[in-house]
Chains A and B, each alone.
Chain A
Amino acid sequence: MERIKVLIVDDSRVSCAMLAGMMAKTNFEVCGMASNAADAVLKYQTLRPMAVTMDMNLPDVDGIECSRRIREIDPDARIVMISAMKDAGLIQRGREVGITSFLQKPVSPYELIDALSCMVSDDVKKNSGIRDLYIQSFAKVLRQSLFSLVGVHSEVETKRAETSFLDIASGIAVIIGLTGSPMGRAIVYMDQDTMYGMARAILMKNDDAPMTSEEAGDVIEEAANIIVGRCASVVNDLKDVDMRISPPGTIVGKNIRIANFKITSYFLEAQTRFGSVYMNVGFAEGE
């Protein structure tokens, strides 16, 4: 795998070490570190990194001015801003100088690698590698959401779908459209027992509490809406895109087959104590 050179600009040695540590196990390689803007511009010129991580607070000028100077030398410079504060004003100023990616401290290894990977891909829409990354983010969101909704730990497995359809013997499927870029749809689905188990847990009811299938369906629909909404937010954070979600369409029944054509889709399976919660995410091909 090709190593991708990254320049770290940060006046804190601890932050530099943390960022370098996160990249150590990936195909990103720290080619240099700069502790002030003047040094950063100089190192950018000599090292020509593929990407730059930029701290907001530098001793000479701020990270935005430093980014502006770097992009003066190289208008295609890819810079991810890492700051303690991430507010609309900062993002606005950052965008004006051409920064498209913003992260807030403390940065998780995951966010950092995602942001860098998204940036170094020239065309996010055509790059299936980036879509794989989206899916990894979705898997993480699914795991976290299940934990915050029902307090269960789950293992999420992902794999690329081989077929253009999914079959549900008996249960519920919540279809949520993804619009903007990339366009597609997400389907959260599970069998009936899992639906009841999860719905009771979300409403904090006993395992034997009475519940109609309509009530249970409504709870799962809202849960799916929350999960997919969070997934879209993550994608929007990673890359400066505007992915939106449509209201859910919920299908309940037996022996259902849902098919999508001209999309590349992925299966995610979260194993919980209620049963498996599945998510199928597909993006339109050839956009």
Chain B
Amino acid sequence: MDAKLVNPFIDALVAVMPQMGFDVPKRTKMSVKNQTCKSLGVSIIVGFTKGLRGNVVYNMSADAAKFVASKMMMGMPVAELDEMAQSALSEMSNMLTANAATNLAAMGYTVDISTPSLTVGQDFQIKISSENYLVVDMDLGGQIMELNIAVQV
């Protein structure tokens, strides 16, 4: 897939996260994978269709997820990933993907997004593509959020 298609997703993170009180996220790593993606503990998948078809997975460790949820809930301590914290993370992925969709539209790709599905577990794998897909690590102030982006051609 075309590497330039990750930019709308990265730009979304950079635009949206600071609005919720995060430092500006930094890209720390980018790679191409063709294997099944191993969940880091919490994975939120959002599908999109129309001008482009694909999936984006926001993948993070339980600790990173708690950090993000806490920040989103105005610094409220999040000791465990309860329903409220999970709901906050779902909301975040929805905002990020909607923002990415707007960025994609500016590139000439109109996309519709699905509702997010948040998956938690100790040991599971996610397959979003049988082809190559792109993986970007974003540093959110010490915690890493991994973006897995697959687009069908």
Contact = CB atoms under 8 A, between A and B. Distances in A.
Contacts of A263: 115
Interface residues of B, number: 39
A217 B127 contact: yes
A196 to B, nearest CB: 17
B117 A246 contact: no
Interface of B: 36, 39, 43, 45-50, 53-55, 57, 83, 86-87, 90-91, 112-130, 150, 152
Contacts of A253: 39, 121, 123-125
23 contacts: A175-B47, A179-B49, A179-B50, A180-B49, A180-B112, A183-B114, A183-B115, A185-B47, A244-B50, A246-B48, A246-B53, A246-B55, A247-B55, A247-B129, A249-B127, A251-B39, A252-B127, A253-B124, A255-B123, A256-B119, A256-B120, A260-B117, A262-B115
Interface in A237-253: 244-247, 249-253
B contact face: mostly helix, strand, loop, or mixed: strand
A178 interface: yes
Contacts of A184: 114-115
What class of interface size applies to chain A in its complex with B?
35 or more
Which of A178, A247, A249, A254 has most chain B Cβ within 10 Å? A249
Contacts of A221: 127
B27 to A, nearest CB: 23
Nearest to B130: A218
Nearest to B44: A259
A64 interface: no
A61 interface: no
A249 B50 contact: no
Given A183-B112, A253-B39, A175 B117 contact: yes
A261 interface: yes
Nearest to A256: B121
Contacts of B48: 177, 179, 246
Given A176-B47, A179-B50, A256-B119, A246 B114 contact: yes
